[in-house]
Amino acid sequence: MRTRTNWLVMILIALGTVLILFPLYMTVTIALKSPEDMLTSVFGLPKELHFENFANAIAMTNFFNALGNSAMVTTATVVLTLLTNSLVAYAIARNMNRKFFKGLYFYFISAMFIPFPIIMLPLVKLTAGLNMTNLVGLTILHTVYALAFNVFVYVGYIKSIPVALEEAARVDGTSTWGTFWRIIFPIMAPINATVGILICLSTYNDFLLPLIIISDTDSYTLPLVQYIFQGQFNTDFNLAFASYLMAMLPMIIIYLFAQKWIINGITQGAVK
């Protein structure tokens, strides 16, 4: 039996999307207008498309350099996180009966409750002392801080994988490492997708950590660049919005293509 479409709800939902899309509509139109267009109409579509705003923003903010930095840090963090965090979680999940590993589990996940600002001040001194005020340092820190949440998610998932599979492999003489890479890691693909998406989003969009860690202008990430250029942006909104749009665009494009996959991944993590 098919029920009819609930038009009232559908209309409300459609109206709600206006609230979501309006700021984005403004971003796109302002990015394409000239300051003169803004004086005549703030809301309307641009009369002619001023793509030079994008060219100017690229030149001014050294956009491709920042994009490269963001892409490198994000990719390296995602890959490193998937490889290391899953491994740690595996060791813990399979030894939860031992005090040491059980202790580790709680040690890691308790960090979920540590607000970052608490360690911010000493961390700045520490990373400077270790020569980590660069993209490599940023990648390592992102990966380490991801452990807290990821151990929690991974352990839950690994527990649901039957031990029998590994025992069979062990009988065949496969080492623990081999068992993990050959048997467990592939099985973990769905949860890896979830973790990968979340880490990708949070690393790419992170502002506070790069703000306090990165010193060298050549290593600035995209959000940091938007912050650094506020002084110049304030006098030219069209330029500013062109820059904002470009900084958000890579994620939006990925989202357009992988939307269903991304949402399913996140849903998976929640339902577990």
Q: Minimum CB separation from other proteins for residue 101, in Å?
A: 7
Dmax of the chain from CA atoms?
A: 77
Q: Minimum CB separation from other proteins for residue 87, in Å?
A: 5
Q: Minimum CB separation from other proteins for residue 136, in Å?
A: 5
Q: Which is nearer to other proteins, 160 or 175 (CB)?
A: 175
Q: Which is nearer to other proteins, 49 or 178 (CB)?
A: 178
Q: Minimum CB separation from other proteins for residue 201, in Å?
A: 6
Q: Which is nearer to other proteins, 51 or 217 (CB)?
A: 217
User: Whose CA is closest to 96, among 158, 143, 153?
Assistant: 158
Q: Report the alpha-carbon distance of residue 244 to residue 28 in Å, rounded.
A: 10
Q: Minimum CB separation from other proteins for residue 208, in Å?
A: 6
Q: Which pair of tokens denotes residue 44?
A: 């309307």
User: Whose CA is closest to 188, among 178, 176, 177, 196?
Assistant: 196
User: Whose CA is closest to 144, among 85, 196, 87?
Assistant: 85
User: Whose CA is closest to 246, among 20, 51, 37?
Assistant: 51
Q: Which is nearer to other proteins, 5 or 48 (CB)?
A: 5
Q: Which pair of tokens denotes residue 15?
A: 């109206």
User: Whose CA is closest to 90, among 186, 171, 168, 173?
Assistant: 186
